[in-house]
Amino acid sequence: MEDLMLHGLQDIYYAEQQVTKALPKMIGQATNRDLAQGLKLHLEETNKQIERLDQVFKKLGQKPSGIDCPAIDGLIKESDETAGEVDDKSVLDAAIVANAQAVEHYEIARYGTLIAWAQQLGHDDIVRLLTTNLNEEKAANTKLNAIALRKGVNRKAAS
């Protein structure tokens, strides 16, 4: 199970790096100010998350390394494809929110599992770091919800 957890950490390490590469494009495509701002903030958070993962590997006595994660590659590829097909800027904003939320949900699933495994294996020292990352993903997802609903991105896209 230690190996499985390490594999999971390498998977999310790679995923976070791919996210830092994908977010600038999404920020550039976003028209809604709240959406662009929110994604920018999350890009900064994502860089910090990678640093926290560096610490996690260190605490486990492992060298930080990533392994290909076809799931995140697929999410980003699909995100590029759907965004590329939308001409209407308001509709594009709604698509970007949806694509970003798919990534957040993936990250939430991964961190939730990693925290449970780390607790089970007695790695209490890495639980705190992973929980900070998880909480940031949850907050990012909640903010995207608010942007789509309360801040009117979906309403504008439908009009």
Options 94, 107, 130, 153; binder of Fe ion; rule CB under 5 A: 107
Which backbone phi and psi does 31 adopt, to 5 degrees? Answer: -100, -40
Stretch that binds Fe ion, among 54-62, 69-77, 80-88, 130-138 (CB under 5 A): 130-138
Determine whether 87 is exposed, middle or buried from the number of CB atoms within 10 Å of its CB (0-12, 13-18, 19+). Answer: exposed
Residues 74-103 that bind Fe ion (CB under 5 A): none
- Report the number of secondary-structure helices (H) and strands (E) in the chain: 6, 0
Closest C-alpha to 96, from 138, 56, 40: 40
Pair 156, 90: CB distance under 8 Å? yes
Determine whether 120 is exposed, middle or buried from the number of CB atoms within 10 Å of its CB (0-12, 13-18, 19+). Answer: exposed
Answer yes or no whether residue 11 interacts with Fe ion by CB under 5 A: no
Tally of residues, the chain? 159
For Fe ion, the closer CB: 11 or 137: 137
Options 76, 97, 137, 148; binder of Fe ion; rule CB under 5 A: 137
Which backbone phi and psi does 57 adopt, to 5 degrees? Answer: -60, -40
Answer yes or no whether residue 141 interacts with Fe ion by CB under 5 A: no
Smallest distance from the beta carbon of 50 to Fe ion, in angstroms?
8
Smallest distance from the beta carbon of 110 to Fe ion, in angstroms?
9
For Fe ion, the closer CB: 41 or 91: 41
For Fe ion, the closer CB: 50 or 60: 50
For Fe ion, the closer CB: 10 or 49: 49
Options 10, 29, 32, 49; binder of Fe ion; rule CB under 5 A: 49
Contacts with Fe ion, residue ranges (CB under 5 A): 16, 46, 49, 104, 107, 137
